[in-house]
Amino acid sequence: MTYTAKAHYAGLPENEIKRVPITVALIIGAFVAILNETLLNIALAGLIQTFHVTATTVQWLATAYMLVIGVLMPVTALLTGWFTTRQMFLGAMSLFLIGTIICGFSPSFGFLLLGRVIQAFGSGLLFPVMMNTILLIYPPEKRGAAMGTIGLVIMFAPAIGPTLSGLIVSVLSWRWLFYLVIPLAVFSIVFATYYLKNVSEVTRPKVEIPSILLSTLGFGGLVYGLGSGSEGGLPGMAFLITGVVALLLFIWRQLTIDEPILDLRTFRYPMFTLATVILILVMMTLFSTMILLPLYIQKALLLTSFDAGLILLPGGLMNGLLSPVMGKLFDKFGPRWLAIPGLFVISIVVWLFSRLTASENVLYIVILYSLLLIGMAMVIMPVSTTGLNQVPKNLYPHGTAIMNTLQQVAGGIGTALFVGIMAAGQRAYLDRSPDPADPGQVLNGLVSGMQHAFTAALIAAIVSFILSLFLRRTFGPKEEHAENELRK
């Protein structure tokens, strides 16, 4: 049996699977979830004044969101085996809607944080089920175009998020960032109720409590410890150490039990392993750039957050618009013709970022960031599709869960690592300065720190470029062949 005959598990023959309505239902949900996540970032400064909290406290709106997703991702493979496609998607969007309503009407910061946590549960469930469904309803030779379409939405939403948020907050209350999302979430649920069909098999795997506890401690401790950064102090370091130890025990247990909640046998497939490593390095580079560049625009070029959103908008839009094109090119030519030149462009752009000064032209920044995200469009979806194409169908939920989890953790590591390098570089510059309190010296210290951070990011980009030279095109193996491989 080949991968083109997979829909029968849900009681639907292949010719009865309407791919377009299912894909549209998934895309609407993804757009709503990602848009809301990026909408809030630019409003954090206003929330500090509204709820009379510190910057450290308000950052929990982002840290808690990342923490919940980091904890939830590894168990999504287990949940996918217990619930149908419709149950997973509608449950995820319902949680997201409930969280959005709580955020919009929250009377205090505590309620707002609670709403964000519930939203994160919805988002954490949404993306794995979306990836798994695409793998099930599209054969390997057509997945590139489908993944490219999803990539359009995934990048278009964060591209317009900061600009749209700045516009809304400048005219209306921050609550409208959530009010406007409520009808979109309701529409997504209604649309999916009519058009989304069950395409996955409900296998009801064993619920392995020790693995779930170790996963929660491992990924939760790791993400929290990294997210708390230098301000975490001893508690943050304790969480980080606990996370690392629990994660090692989690890996050991998954390799020794009969029914792991996260099947690490997916790493037996070389293209999956190679693609995962490349994506980890690329995500570290991307997340760090998305943090460092707005800081540079606002602190070094002395522009507003709304200006920063406008400067970053063209790159995000180009990335989104090119994602479907890259998907079709991937289906035709495979990953090497996209990933290798894409990672070369990324490496050149990050090198140029490492040479930024305190008086760069805004148009130059727009061009560089646009080239960076064009390179990302050539890499992220093609590489992830290449890796997942080699994984057999029974490991799809585990493959998508592993990729999503490691990319989330990579984002946290990249952000903490490169921001830490920037701060250390800035301190080192000011320690050598004859007048560290001089505003000009502070500005030069910031730029020096950012140059150090982008230099470190350049190393990750170059390594990912070298690894891309070993990519090759993959098509899904037959199940009989996959089972033989697993027995070896």
pLDDT digits (tens, 9 = 90+) for 104-146: 899 888 899 999 889 888 887 887 777 777 777 777 767 777 7
Query: Rounded to whole angstroms, how far apart are CA atoms 401 and 54?
Result: 35
Q: Can you tell me whether residue 359 is helix, strand or coil?
A: coil
List, for residues 11-25, the tens digit of each pLDDT value: 444 444 577 777 777
C-alpha–C-alpha distance, residues 98 and 119, integer Å: 7
Higher-scoring residue by pLDDT: 222, 280: 280
The pLDDT of residue 135 is 72
Mean pLDDT to the nearest integer, 38-44: 68
| Strand ranges for 267-339 from DSSP E | none
Burial group, residue 185, by CB count within 10 angstroms (0-12, 13-18, 19+)? buried
Coil/strand/helix, residue 461: helix
Q: Residues 22, 26, 32, 35: is their CA dihedral positive or negative?
A: negative
Interacting residues of 84 by C-beta distance below 8 A, sequence separation 6+: 10, 198, 200, 202
| Amino acid present at 348 | I
The third-level CATH classification (topology) of the domain covering 263-475 is Growth Hormone; Chain: A; (1.20.1250)
As a three-state string, the secondary structure of 206-263 is CCCHHHHHHHHHHHHHHHHHHHHHHHHHHHHHHHHHHHHHHHHHHHHHHHHCCCCCCC
Q: At what angle do helices 396-432 and 109-137 cross, to 10 degrees?
A: 130
Angle between helices 270-295 and 439-468 (to 10 degrees): 160
235-251 confidence digits (pLDDT tens): 778 888 888 899 899 88
How sure is the predictor about 257, in pLDDT bands with cuts at 50, 70 and 90?
confident
Stretch (H or E) spanning 469? none
Q: What are the angstrom distances between the C-alpha of 34 and each of 30, 31, 124, 192?
A: 6, 5, 11, 17
Q: Is 210 helix (H, G, I), strand (E, B) or coil?
A: helix
Q: From 1.20.1250.20, 1.10.10.60, 3.40.50.720, 3.30.70.360, which CATH number describes the 11-194 domain? A: 1.20.1250.20
Can you spell out the DSSP letters for 31-84? Answer: HHHHHHHHHHHTTHHHHHHHHT--HHHHTHHHHHHHHHHHHHGGGHHHHHHHS-
Q: Do the two domains 11-194 and 263-475 of this chain adopt the same fold?
A: yes
* Residue extents of the structural domains in the chain: 11-194, 207-258, 263-475
> What ranges make up the beta strands (E) of 105-196?
none
Q: What is the mean pLDDT of residues 272-293?
A: 86
Give the pLDDT confidence score for residue 9 in this predicted structure. Answer: 40
